[in-house]
Amino acid sequence: MLDIYRKGYILCVLKLQIIAKCSGLYFSEKKDSTMKYFLTLFILSFISQPFFAQKGLYRLLVGTYTNTGKSEGIYAFDVNVKTATFTQKSVATGIINPSYLTLTPDAKFLYAVSEDGKNSVVNAFSFNKNTFEMMFLNRSPAKGLDPCYISVTKKHVFTANYSSGNVSVLGRKSDGTLTEVLQQILLSGKSINTERQNEPHVHQVLFSLDKKYLIINDLGTDHVNVYTYKSNAITEILTPWDTLAVKPGSGPRHAVFSKNGKRLYLLQELDGTVSVLKMQKGKLNLIQETTVMRKENKKAGAADIHLSPDGKFLYATNRAPENTITCFSVAKNGRLEFRQQVSSGGSGPRNFALTADGQYLFVGNQYSDAIDIFKRNIKTGFLTNTGKKIIVGAPVCLAFF
């Protein structure tokens, strides 16, 4: 690794010398040393970043379903896309179905659900981003059936409990350990799909960028609920604020905020609708509807949705039998336009993640037991399957760190 950095530095210095000569700049050995130093740093900031990004080196956490017998728990991988070298650095075992996980912003703690019916729990780990070590701290009953999403703040952890249709709020101590459930949000109602919507099914708990509001997507009732969040409260940590009814039978599943927090892009599982919502002071309004379903598509099973790092493109997955990733361009006003639809490279693209440099998209194909890697054109947003994949049993949650 040191050789890579050394070569990168030498390359940058050579480029610096060429730029200086072409610009007519000259620095003596003794004079202007300070100016030479800062100019070097200035140019390195532009040259070194692309150099190292091109190396395709990433670190990845993977949540899985263990009940398939093909997975042991939560995996940590060291990834070199260029050489197709995927090194498993550690695995946290003894956890049933860690189907969704989240890291704290400082990457010191990791929280994961155990999606296990009446026995569902929330797990806490300390995490070392240098050694990839996950050390179990404690677990606490979720007080909800089959948690499928988890979010974290400085003081709390929140779970979306799909089968029981409720949200659980747990306390988070300074050492990373969890308290028991402090508050439960109980939802009610149903919608028109008699097979999937006879009761609430909470599928996501997502915070606004300013952490003032929590978005609760309820697939079972076709509602997006907004709650205010009071981090210092003891009892009413979450309180109702707003609710938006979406198209009946659509099934709101996952959403993502724009970089400025003014737009919420919502993916509906049951019919593949993508809704563009405006959010102002916690109030939601619909401004556009489009879909991941094309003429050649037959069935919707939409799963996950994310924006590119620059916010210019939106991606969404649709599962079997379609197994696709759809790309939309994002206009300055937030509206979407269809750009591309490609095969996910496997079966059951449940969750995916984009690398921070925007170069690659990794998609977890749950039923084909692999993470397929796509090269991404940053200018057009188009995806190309590299043919490279990480083999792991039932991957359903991906998180780069």
pLDDT tens column, 314-339: 999 999 999 999 999 999 999 999 99
Answer yes or no: is pLDDT of 159 > 60.
yes
Answer yes or no: is pLDDT of 305 > 90.
yes
Q: Which domain holds residue 16?
A: 1-23+36-55
Kindly give the residue spans of alpha helices, DSSP state H, lying in 54-129: none
pLDDT at 16: 42
| CA–centroid distance for 243 within its chain | 24
The token pair at 198 is: 């006879």
DSSP calls for 274-305: EEEEEEETTEEEEEEEEES--TT-----EEEE
Angle between helices 33-53 and 2-22 (to 10 degrees): 120
Answer yes or no: is pLDDT of 36 > 70.
no
Query: How confident is residue 39, by pLDDT bands cut at 50, 70 and 90?
Result: very low
What are the CA-CA distances from residue 329 to residues 268, 316, 336, 337, 386 (Å)?
19, 12, 6, 5, 22
Bridge-partner residues for 184, per DSSP? 168
Local structure of residue 56 (DSSP, 8 states)? -
In a domain, 8, yes or no: yes
Answer yes or no: is pLDDT of 126 > 70.
yes
Answer yes or no: is pLDDT of 12 > 90.
no
281 Rama class: left (phi>0) / alpha (psi -120 to 50) / beta: left
Which residues lie closer than 8 Å to 158 by C-beta, 6 or more apart?
150, 151, 152, 167, 168, 169, 170, 205, 214
Type of residue at 50: P
Answer yes or no: is pLDDT of 154 > 80.
yes
In a domain, 45, yes or no: yes
The token pair at 31 is: 């004079």
Query: What is d(CA 227, CA 265) in angstroms, rounded to the nearest whole number?
Result: 18
Which tens digits make up the pLDDT trace of 371-384?
999 999 999 999 99
pLDDT at 264: 98
Answer yes or no: is pLDDT of 27 > 80.
no
In a domain, 300, yes or no: no
Which tens digits make up the pLDDT trace of 50-67?
444 457 999 999 999 999
pLDDT at 175: 98
The token pair at 66 is: 């263990």
When pLDDT is averaged across residues 19-27 and rounded to a whole number, the result is 41
- What percentage of the chain carries pLDDT values higher than 70? 87
Answer yes or no: are the C-beta atoms of 361 and 349 closer than 8 Å.
no
Query: How confident is residue 143, by pLDDT bands cut at 50, 70 and 90?
Result: very high
DSSP calls for 118-151: GG-EEEEEEE-TTT--EEEEEEEE-SSSSEEEEE
When pLDDT is averaged across residues 334-347 and rounded to a whole number, the result is 98
pLDDT at 137: 98
Answer yes or no: is pLDDT of 23 > 80.
no
When pLDDT is averaged across residues 20-24 and rounded to a whole number, the result is 43
Query: How confident is residue 29, by pLDDT bands cut at 50, 70 and 90?
Result: very low
pLDDT at 60: 98
The shares of helix, strand and coil residues in the chain, as percent rounded to the nearest 5, are 15, 50, 40
Answer yes or no: is pLDDT of 120 > 70.
yes
The token pair at 216 is: 């609760």
Cis peptide before 200 (omega within 30 of 0): no
In a domain, 303, yes or no: no
In a domain, 42, yes or no: yes
Kindly give the residue spans of alpha helices, DSSP state H, lying in 67-109: none
In a domain, 245, yes or no: no
Query: How confident is residue 45, by pLDDT bands cut at 50, 70 and 90?
Result: very low
Q: What are phi and psi of 233, to 5 degrees?
A: -70, 150
pLDDT at 47: 41
In a domain, 248, yes or no: no
Q: What are phi and psi of 316, to 5 degrees?
A: -145, 145
Number of separate helices (H) and strands (E) present in the chain: 2, 28
Q: How many domains does the chain have?
A: 1
The per-residue pLDDT of the chain, averaged, comes to: 90
What are the CA-CA distances from residue 20 to residues 32, 43, 93 (Å)?
14, 10, 55
When pLDDT is averaged across residues 261-280 and rounded to a whole number, the result is 98
Query: How confident is residue 19, by pLDDT bands cut at 50, 70 and 90?
Result: very low
CB 176: neighbour CB atoms within 10 A?
A: 18
Query: What is d(CA 89, CA 109) in angstroms, rounded to the nearest whole number?
Result: 17
pLDDT at 55: 74
In a domain, 3, yes or no: yes
